[in-house]
Structure 1
Amino acid sequence: MTAPFQPYSMHVGVQEARDMLATLLPAPGAETIPLAAARGRMLAADLQARVSHPSATESALDGVAAREVDTVNASATSPVRLRVVGESRAGVPFSGAVGPGECVRIYTGAPLPAGVDAICPVEQLTDEGPDHVLLARPASPADVRHEGGDFRAGETILTAGTLLTPPRVALAAALGHAEVPVRRRLRVALLSTGDEVIEPGHPLGPGQVYDSNRYGLQAMLEECGCDVLALGHAPDSPEALQEAIAQAGGADVLLTSGGVSMGRYDFMRDLLIERGRVAFWKVRMRPGGPALLGGWQGLPVFGLPGNPVSSLVVFHVIVRPVLTGQPVGTLRLRAGTPFRGLPDKTAFWRGVLRGGEVWDYGKQGSGVLRSLSEANALVVVPEGGAVQVGEDVEVILL
């Protein structure tokens, strides 16, 4: 047995835990992928617009394009009569010019012909024979989309570090990019531990629980855009843990659940302290205090508590922002109920948004896994603080 790595930090703060995890992960590499595969990936470089959008001045709706000055007196009781000289539709623009007293039929997205500057919607039009139309209201310049009104060619629109959500994928396409540079996916090995943990679908024996951590954490890792190397489950023994960890070759980091608290059978903690290395053990937060960061033969290891609520909260608050490179998104809301503070820990109480306020979910026990499904926020109460009804409080949306 090798000597334990010393010293290691005890009772680190939440931000300190994030920073220490980030230093152990490899620097994010980059790769270029087809835009169709980019949802959920992180941009590795800025994207500039290759074209302007709109690429031409165009109509925002169906109707007629006319000169505003010719239609200013139009009303339902005194409509203005214009001569129709053609039409413009997307992909087939009107090639001529429009003169006084004239208009062209136009459709959404179609370029405006020369000589016009306003649109009258089709709902305000009445045909008068094949070549004339009556306008029941003035044509409006507000219904014209000007060339480059959204963005112009050469303009930086999406910046490095941006998460490519579906609307941003659509935006990248509009910028003219068929491929995009993205950060390489982190490869995360996932291992759950514990003699009491069994696979869902099997009958439970006395004292046994289903392996909710394995499935919840895998779903969260995939949501973060990680490649997951599922190592399954290992019982509580140093030999079984070492055998499971040996299967994590090629991973950037190993994420475990269970075996890191202060019990006699918390072998993951003992294994890293005695034979690996430990950067910190325990975080000043609730739920989720007994988290551990260390390494095993060059592989970074982050040990989550075995309690499902603690495990998922620690992942959301500490691990997720490091894996994604995105800070935890917070906002401030009015407290509809009081939230107690803790003298030496940051509290992350489950809350429910209601009427523009955040309310205590009620059941804050670490064993209430149902709460993370029914609550939609974590209320952040700093160390030594407390929140009274009516005060503003920091909230993390779930």
Structure 2
Amino acid sequence: MAQALIPVAEARARILSMLTPTEQEPVLLANAVGRILAEDVVARRTQPPSDLSAMDGYAVRAADVSSVPARLRVVGESPAGGAYDGILGEGEAVRIFTGAPVPHGADAIVIQEDTERYGDIVIAREKTVHGRNIRPAGLDFTKGTTGLAAGRKLSAADIAFAAAMNVSSLSLHRRPRIAFFSTGDELVRPGAPLGPNQIVSSNNDGLAALIAEAGGVPLDLGIAPDRREAIRATARKAIGADMLVTLGGASVGDHDLVQAALAEDGLDIDFWRIAMRPGKPLMFGRYRDIPMLGLPGNPVSAQVCALLFLVPALTKLAGGEANAPRTVPARLGTPLAENDQREDYLRAGIDHVPGELPVATPFPKQDSSMLSLLSAADCLIVRPPHAPAAEAGEMVSVIPLR
């Protein structure tokens, strides 16, 4: 039975509504970059733990250097990792280095370049004020405060921040395991011998790369022949994965067997037709309690649909906030005809103009088999259903690809 085409946003929402994040696991800081926090990270110490010098120089009482030149007696030293244990008195100074604790009684640092040293006497040549060149205790953060919130995708700076908070491991959502396979008697893996009617399959390797880039663990189940039992046997290998993705066979032609084969083996279909180009034959449902996404077999369609639907799904499974791909404004480089009822994603190049919006120019050919154009594309121009004809220079939304 034919199914009405559903909008892209509705399809994505229906997919995401059926997903729950993976369980939590402890991960050492060195292995946490790019992962998503499952719990808040709370500081276990105050940073700095005490007032520290921001410069090499001399710790002084600002009142003693309110006019210059000021003659002070050097009574000790405060190196980084050490401290001066006495209390600074009137007319006294302590030699100090960057990162060292400010002695009790001192309230400013005179930088080394503004002084002259003669034995135990230092002459300050520049006036100072209370607090100058001092990093006060708690300047960065204080013990007990939340430094990083759950749901955050961790950057290298976040890892350094967590380490500074004296945290050695983080509670993260496990990387989602995404099992996938292609279907088709005509497909062979790259480098394998090619028969007269066969083609090289690019989808498995392309999808594995996309899954890894998005933070998942790719589980490549290979290529299933166009036989129902072979498709069922391959799909059963996905048991235990967090999602199953099929490539090809999601339509309703005589050789599009995925839906029919897996319907006999526990597949419950939610939808299988999307109002988009490329990628109308996109399928979603549950296979034996595993969320299942059926991508088109055309390689460009597969990659575009994976970007629009699989990447947000991976983000939600990994514990993050799943949204549509980010779009930015651009100006159209060439005229476009009126759009039909399907949302278009046009491969395009980007020209950057200083001080102006970038110019996005769609490639003349948009055939969904042409991976060379997807590789060359800087962005996808998004055209809503029934968009009117557009002239060069008009505003469009684009999804950056680089």
Query: Which residues of structure 2 form unaligned runs of 5+?
Result: none
Aligned partner of 1:260 among 244, 250, 253: 250
Superposition pairs for residues 274-289 of structure 1, below 5 Å?
Answer: 276-289=267-280
Distance (Å, rounded) in 1 between the aligned partners of 2:217 and 2:211: 8
- Following superposition, the deviation at residue 365 of structure 1 comes to 3.6
Greater displacement, 153-162 / 178-187: 178-187
Letter in 1 for 2:287: W
Letter in 1 for 2:32: A
Letter in 2 for 1:201: G
Q: Secondary structure at the match of 1:147?
A: coil
Kept in 2, the 8 Å contact 1:66–1:139? The answer is no
Distance (Å, rounded) in 2 between the aligned partners of 1:219 and 1:362: 25
**Percentage of identical aligned residues:** 37
Change (3 A) 1:23 1:68: same
Residue deviations 1:144-191 (CA, integer Å, cap 9, x gap): 322222222221221121122222222222222223222233222121
Aligned partner of 2:346 among 330, 349, 357: 349
1:20 paired to 2:17: no
Match of 2:40?
A: 46
Distance (Å, rounded) in 2 between the aligned partners of 1:332 and 1:120: 49
- Following superposition, the deviation at residue 142 of structure 1 comes to 5.8
Match of 1:375?
A: 377
Change (3 A) 1:62 1:288: farther
Distance (Å, rounded) in 1 between the aligned partners of 2:342 and 2:138: 51
Match of 1:3?
A: none
Q: Secondary structure at the match of 2:84?
A: coil
Distance (Å, rounded) in 1 between the aligned partners of 2:193 and 2:123: 77
Kept in 1, the 8 Å contact 2:351–2:360? The answer is no
TM-score normalised by structure 2 residue count: 0.83
- Following superposition, the deviation at residue 104 of structure 1 comes to 3.0
Change (3 A) 1:52 1:132: same
Superposition pairs for residues 302-341 of structure 1, below 5 Å?
Answer: 302-325=293-316, 326=321, 327-328=323-324, 330=326, 332-335=328-331, 337=333, 340=336
Distance (Å, rounded) in 1 between the aligned partners of 2:59 and 2:375: 53
- Following superposition, the deviation at residue 267 of structure 1 comes to 1.7
- Following superposition, the deviation at residue 279 of structure 1 comes to 0.7
Distance (Å, rounded) in 2 between the aligned partners of 1:170 and 1:393: 35
Distance (Å, rounded) in 2 between the aligned partners of 1:211 and 1:120: 69
Greater displacement, 173-182 / 356-365: 356-365
Change (3 A) 1:157 1:207: farther
Kept in 1, the 8 Å contact 2:36–2:153? The answer is yes
Q: Secondary structure at the match of 1:383?
A: coil
Kept in 1, the 8 Å contact 2:300–2:368? The answer is yes
Kept in 1, the 8 Å contact 2:346–2:362? The answer is no
- Following superposition, the deviation at residue 80 of structure 1 comes to 5.8
TM-score normalised by structure 1 residue count: 0.83
Distance (Å, rounded) in 2 between the aligned partners of 1:73 and 1:207: 91
* Cα RMSD (Å): 3.1
Superposition pairs for residues 23-102 of structure 1, below 5 Å?
Answer: 23-71=17-65, 82-102=72-92
1:117 paired to 2:134: no
Letter in 1 for 2:271: F
Distance (Å, rounded) in 2 between the aligned partners of 1:242 and 1:15: 30
Aligned partner of 1:131 among 120, 126, 136: 120
Change (3 A) 1:322 1:233: same
Distance (Å, rounded) in 1 between the aligned partners of 2:290 and 2:60: 69
- Following superposition, the deviation at residue 206 of structure 1 comes to 4.4
Q: Secondary structure at the match of 1:323?
A: helix
- Following superposition, the deviation at residue 242 of structure 1 comes to 1.3
Residue deviations 1:206-264 (CA, integer Å, cap 9, x gap): 45443322112112222333233221122222222112112222122211112223543
Change (3 A) 1:164 1:26: same
Kept in 1, the 8 Å contact 2:231–2:262? The answer is no
- Following superposition, the deviation at residue 71 of structure 1 comes to 4.7
Distance (Å, rounded) in 1 between the aligned partners of 2:196 and 2:67: 85
Q: Secondary structure at the match of 1:181?
A: strand
Greater displacement, 163-172 / 60-69: 60-69
**Aligned pairs, number:** 387
Kept in 1, the 8 Å contact 2:232–2:262? The answer is no
Distance (Å, rounded) in 2 between the aligned partners of 1:353 and 1:101: 65
Aligned partner of 1:297 among 288, 301, 314: 288
Greater displacement, 179-188 / 23-32: 23-32
Match of 1:362?
A: 362
- Following superposition, the deviation at residue 292 of structure 1 comes to 0.8
Letter in 2 for 1:131: D
